[in-house]
Amino acid sequence: MTPVVKFPKVFDSATASQFHREIERIIEGGFSTVLIDLKEVACITSSGLLALVLAFKTVRDAGRQLFICSMNEQARILFELTGLDQVFETFSS
């Protein structure tokens, strides 16, 4: 089963360290794929974006895959504006 990481309503520097620990736990667990659910996120700060990019690098460097799912409209616009829509593979649900 693929682990799913759900983002909090606000993804910022305060929640980024918990997110990073969760990514590390998934990698250490030997999972080949990480799925990040953005359905509930209302705000992603620059610290949150940095944490997401670092997670992508960490997962990729470990030879694993990271995907984004259930991206809401706000997150989709942010990803398009920052060019992250070209970096991350996303799924609607």
pLDDT bin (cut points 50, 70, 90) of residue 92 is confident
pLDDT at site 68: 96
Q: Return the ∠ at Cα 20 (arms to 92 and 16), rounded to 5°.
A: 80
Query: Is 93's pLDDT higher than 80?
Result: no
The mean per-residue pLDDT over the stretch 48-56 comes to: 95
User: Could you tell me the pTM of the whole model?
Assistant: 0.87
CATH dotted code for 4-91: 3.30.750.24
Terminal-residue alpha carbon distance, the chain: 16
90 or 92, which is more confident: 90
pLDDT at site 2: 86
User: Where are the strands (E) in 8-61, listed by range?
Assistant: 10-11, 33-37, 43-44
Q: Is 86 left (phi over 0), alpha (psi -120 to 50) or beta?
A: alpha
pLDDT at site 8: 86
